[in-house]
Amino acid sequence: MNLRKIIVSNDNTHHLFNEKPLYAKKFKRVFKFHPPGLAPVLDESGAYHIELDGNEAYKERFIKTFGYYFDKAAIITKEGWGHIDIKGNLVYEPIYDWVGNYQDEVCTVRDKKGSYFHIKDNGDRVYSANMLYAGDFRNEIAVVRKNNGLCTHIYKDGTSVHGKYFIDLDVFHKGFARAKNKEGWFHINEEGKEIYQEKYKCNEPFYNGYALVENMLGNRLIIDEGGNYVHTVIELSKIEEMK
């Protein structure tokens, strides 16, 4: 069965397939199905996951459950946040203040002291350094905010990708990442170098070679990967005229 064709009902109590109930039971709350075919639900007994027929996937109950990613799902217990496998077994002791979802075989977490870092699929730390914030890995690279308050990119072992720091930073998308310094937003390459000199109020990732940006005058423009203007979407003065 194509999981993408299974949707949550308008009242969030069950799932629909081809506009018909997937099973007979109703829950207090249901969420989307994720591979390998399990969905987080909540009823009087607590939070857990169900299979496609609406039956429980395991006996254990939690305070809250989330969707499966790479056969592991985030859960909340009285002791803290952690992850379970597809049989409902704890992957490691749920000791964290928050956990994300596994991506690229590692997961970002926040400990009880407020530090962020990444863990392996067995719960062990990937590297020893603590961060102010750590995002998901994508294509073996993640954004972290270090203790100096600035952002950079790291590899899975915690080493720096390019050694450059920014006020704000995004993940790499097709070889480029959004970055911000005191002058504004721009794009960098995988060496951490600015690919053009202009700075913007905001920008978006490149989409098939082009990116939407807002310049300091409030105009929405399209630029290419060389930073050249190729199209004006709308000027701020025209937006004001429409009010």
Q: What is the pLDDT of residues 67-125, one digit of tens each?
A: 999 999 999 999 999 999 999 999 999 899 999 999 988 999 999 999 999 999 899 99
Class of domain 103-165: mainly beta
Per residue in 181-209, pLDDT (tens digit) is 999 999 999 999 999 999 999 999 999 99
State pTM to two decimals: 0.90
Mean pLDDT of 214-233: 96
Rounded (10°) CA dihedral 19, 22, 24, 28: -90
Report domain extents, the chain. Answer: 1-95, 103-165, 167-243
Q: What contacts 139, CB < 8 A, 6 or more positions away?
A: 104, 172
**Which fold would CATH assign to domain 167-243?**
Thrombin, subunit H (2.40.10)
Domains 1-95 and 103-165 share a fold: no
Strand order in the sheet with 133-134: 133-134, 141-145, 151-155
46 alpha-carbon distance from chain centroid: 26
CATH code for the part of the protein at 1-95? 2.40.128.630
